[in-house]
Every structure is written in structure tokens, then in C-alpha cells.
Structure 1
């Protein structure tokens, strides 16, 4: 009995693999059914989509139709416009206020407005008396609201590498002094050089050369009767170029002397703090009780 029972149990185990095999075949059949269903393409819809894309990216007009192989016409589908239609940008017209409008807007004092008009008049006089040199691009007149700058090329005033005024410079500076002598403005004379180094006993660097040239012009203005307390000589060397120092033309432009007429309210040794505030109509802060405001000397 025991032997027959053992043989019966062993025979049951041999058929168990059929269950797993049947499950595998069922899943495999389902897989192929799904693959077949998704691979089925509606030929009509496919052609419609293809023709639509072709019409959208072609150069044909929007009112034209295209036909498929069966002769069915399909209207070209235009791309969808996203957002607003681009508009042509119009240039913005900037205001160009007159001098009177600027004066009214800033509400400056009458004294500084009169001084500004005098500076503008002086700039026009410079252009008139120095017209031949302006045409040759040896002189340039620059106007600002509160100063004017007379830019003179060093070739007009000095020999190369020298700080002594050349004979032809004297008549030019005399014409300039006749205009500025009648004005009370401070005068800054600024010397500039190119970036080529200079190493002489008299001028170890461009600092000394630019300062010496500015001083020569200042001394000539003194001889022409301009008060010394209005004058200052400044040397900038090669460190404020107006053109490219790598080319000859640029270096030529950078070798220059600038004569700057400053407004009384902006000159360092012009008006003191209280006078400057009055000219510009700026409210002065209240001083601490018992402490008098420090008064800057007009001329140091």
C-alpha cells in the first residue's frame, strides 16, 4: 500500500508544468493581438494628414486646394497664428526743448542763466575767430550747459616734444584771450599727450610734458592781462584720450590742449558753498545751534 501511494504522488507532479505553459501562451497571444491592433493604420486619415502638412509648408496660396490620388480635394490648412499680429515700430520723437524751456524747468537763478548765455555767446565767438583752424580740424569748440571747452591741437601751439610756445601760437592765444578777458569765469587749461613714452631730463614722462604745456598757455594768458586767480594748469598725460592711440591719426588728435571756461557755480575756486546754493536755487540745510557754517574762501 505504501509503495502504490508513493507512485501516485510522483505521477501528479509531472503534469504541473502545463499550467504555466498555458498561461504563457495566453499572454503571448494577447501581446500579438495588441501589436496588431495598434499597427493598423487608417489610410484615409493618414493621407489627409499628409496632404494638410504638405499644404501648410508649401508656397501655395491659402485659397488653393490639393487633391489626393483618388481625386478628393483637401483645403490647405494654414498655421495657427499665436499672439497678436506683429506691428511696425514707429520711431519715438524726443523732445528738443529750447533754452528758455530748460531754464524755466530747472528754475535756476538769473545770475547763472545770464552766465550760461554768455558762455554760449563766447563759444560762437570762438568759432568765428578760429574758423580757419576749425575747418582744418585743428580746433574744436564743445558746448555744455555750465562750461565750454576750446580744444586745440598741440601742433598749433608747440613743436614736437617741446613745451615752449611756438611763434605761430601767440596770435592764436591772443585772439582767445580777447574773448575770455571780458568774462569772469574760471579758466582751466588742460594738457594732453599721446601714449608714446618720453624720457628726457626735462620731461621724464608725459605727466611733466602735459603739465608744462598747460603752464605755458597759462603764462601767456597772464601776459595778456587775464587775472591769475582765474587760471589753473592741469596735466593729464596720455590718460584721457579722445581717439585711438594705436594709429597715427588718433595720436595726432590726442596731443592737445583744452581751455575750459567754467561756470561760476561749478568752478572749484569760484563761488563758495552758500553762493553756489543761491545760484542753483538749492535749499541750504539748517546749521546746528551755536555753530556757525563754515565759509569757504572764494580765492585760495
Structure 2
């Protein structure tokens, strides 16, 4: 009799084996990630001290790490003992604190600046292209614009860069406050860039100050003034006089802050103007009278020395005394000091 062969049934639970393997791998992966994310402070300290010992060559005793990760305690300082050979002490170089040099920004530095400037610019001084004047309160370095700027522009010429960079290298080593002042002659100018001599003189002073700042002079030490044509040194009736009036003046103040600037300015220009300017500067300012409506001509106005208040307030200009029967001029000659 033929035996009946049992049919083998297919096992539908075979998926559980790879699923269990996948779960095991995921569990191992998360365990590894957790172990990496948790920093063992004790092992990290041991590693860092080992690196320090390897690079510094010092023998150190390191405290053992905590016994278990679960017992976390605040990290304590690790005592480190260095082996020192007492027979051969090591002398460590320490930076020396030098006391400030006496007279910096004062009389001694002014003499140092003058000597260095005269030595560096002696060829130009001999040709009378540079004039150095030393007063008790400031040092003046007057440079003719013939060697600095072409006619009618404020862009420095190629020959001016070497002169000004040499001068800036000297001034950068001292803390004194600096003022760059520009002057022109009375030849009028009217262009889109320079409507008058005010703009031209201020732009020339700014060009010199900008080169000083680019060469190493601290910008907070610099100030610029454009005087235009109102403070001439010589008459503008001759070519030689106009050449003297076209100049740039670098004023090195005696102190670091350059105070008091207004008193120094008034005194300096009184000395340059001569004794005739003294009564004008000291005279009381009369009340301005209205201009005459008739065709009587105005009297010439003498420029007065005006001291600028520290709060940048400009007082009224001083006008010269005129006869009672003559009309009083209204024109004022105000020279801004900033």
C-alpha cells in the first residue's frame, strides 16, 4: 500500500531572525553613540596632562579618575608637582617696566623734534623751502606749497610724498598734538571743486594730514585748518610775496592735548602780525552800525585776531575804530578755527 507523503508547510515566521539582528545592531549603535557623547572628565584630564608632560618634559603626579561614571562629583583641582633641580636654578626673563621718559610731550620732546626735523630737512631749509620756528609753546614747520602741490589743486605731487613721509616718520614717535594749516594767496579761484580759497586751503591741509595718518601718525593727534587768504605773511602785490603766502604749516603743540589752543593761536598771530595788531586784538568790539545807503565807500577792514572758545563759539569780530563822520563798515572777517 502506497504511503501518503505529508506536504511540508512554509514557515511564515522567518522574518523574525533578520528583524532581531537589526534590533541588535541598532541597540549597539545607540550604545556606542551614547558612550561617545558622554565626556569622561577623568580620562580627559589624564590625556591632557599626559600631553603636557610629553611636550614640557616635567614629571607630574596625576590624580586617578573617578571610580565610576555614575558617581559624579565636582571636578577638583589636580595637584601637580614639578621636579626642580635646586642646584641649578632657572632664571626666567621677565619684561622690564620702563618708567615714562621725562618730558614726553613737553619741552624736551620739542627740542628732540626740532633737531630731528632740521637734520632730515636741512637741504630744503637751506633752499628756504622749509622754515622751522621754535617758540616756548609750539613748534612750527612751514612748507612752501611749490614742493607739495601743483597750482590750483590739492593733490600731493610725487616729490611731496618723500618729504612728508620723512617728516611723518619723525612726528609719529612723539605724542604731541599736531595741527595742519593751509594758506593761499589772494588770487581768486572759482571751480566746481574749489569755489574759493577756503576750500582749496582746507583740502590741502587735509591731504597732508591724510598722508601723516597713513604713514603712522595717530589720527586722534591730527587736526586741520584752512585759512584761505586771510592770514598772509607777506604782501600779495608781488610774485615773491604771493609765493610766501602759499604754504602749509604743521604746528606741533607743546603738550599732548595742545591746550589752551585759543590763547596760543591769538598770541602766535599777534607776534606774526607785529605791534600794529596789538591794539586791534585788545580793543573792545563796538556795536556794528548799519551800512550807509549812499554811495560812500567802505573803509578797509583790518583782520582781527579772534580767539576761539573751547566750546567752539565764535565771538564777534573786532573792527577798527573809524571817525565819527565816516560810515561804519559791516563786513566781518571771521576765520573759523576748526
1:123 is the counterpart of 2:104 = no
1:241 is the counterpart of 2:208 = no
What's the offset of the Cα at 1:111? 5.8
Aligned to 1:132: 123
Aligned to 1:7: none
Larger Rg: 1
- Residues 28-47 of structure 1 show CA distances to partners (whole Å, capped at 9, x for unaligned) of xxxxxxxxxxxxxxxxxxxx
1:141 is the counterpart of 2:136 = no
CA contact 2:176–2:221 (8 Å) conserved in 1: yes
CA contact 2:179–2:225 (8 Å) conserved in 1: yes
RMSD: 2.1
Q: Give the paired residue count.
A: 162
1:184 is the counterpart of 2:175 = yes
Distance in 1 of aligned mates of 2:102 and 2:112: 15
Of the candidates 137, 147, 150, which is equivalent to residue 156 of structure 1? 147
- 1:15-26 equivalences under 5 Å are none
Aligned to 1:168: 159
What's the offset of the Cα at 1:268? 4.3
CA contact 2:154–2:207 (8 Å) conserved in 1: yes
Aligned to 1:232: 223
The TM-score normalised by the length of structure 1 is 0.51
Of the candidates 246, 255, 269, which is equivalent to residue 264 of structure 1? 255
Distance in 1 of aligned mates of 2:145 and 2:189: 16
- Tell me the SS of whatever aligns to 2:228: coil
Structure 2: runs of 5 or more not aligned = 1-100, 262-310, 312-338
What's the offset of the Cα at 1:173? 0.6
Of the candidates 182, 194, 201, which is equivalent to residue 185 of structure 2? 194
Of the candidates 199, 212, 216, which is equivalent to residue 203 of structure 2? 212
- Tell me the SS of whatever aligns to 2:158: coil
- Tell me the SS of whatever aligns to 2:236: coil
CA contact 1:146–1:266 (8 Å) conserved in 2: no
Q: After TM superposition, where is structure 1 displaced by more than 3 Å over at least 4 residues in a row?
A: 110-114
CA contact 2:176–2:256 (8 Å) conserved in 1: no
Structure 1 pair 265–125 and aligned structure 2 pair: CA distance change class (3 A): closer
- Tell me the SS of whatever aligns to 1:211: helix
The TM-score normalised by the length of structure 2 is 0.46
Structure 1 pair 219–265 and aligned structure 2 pair: CA distance change class (3 A): closer
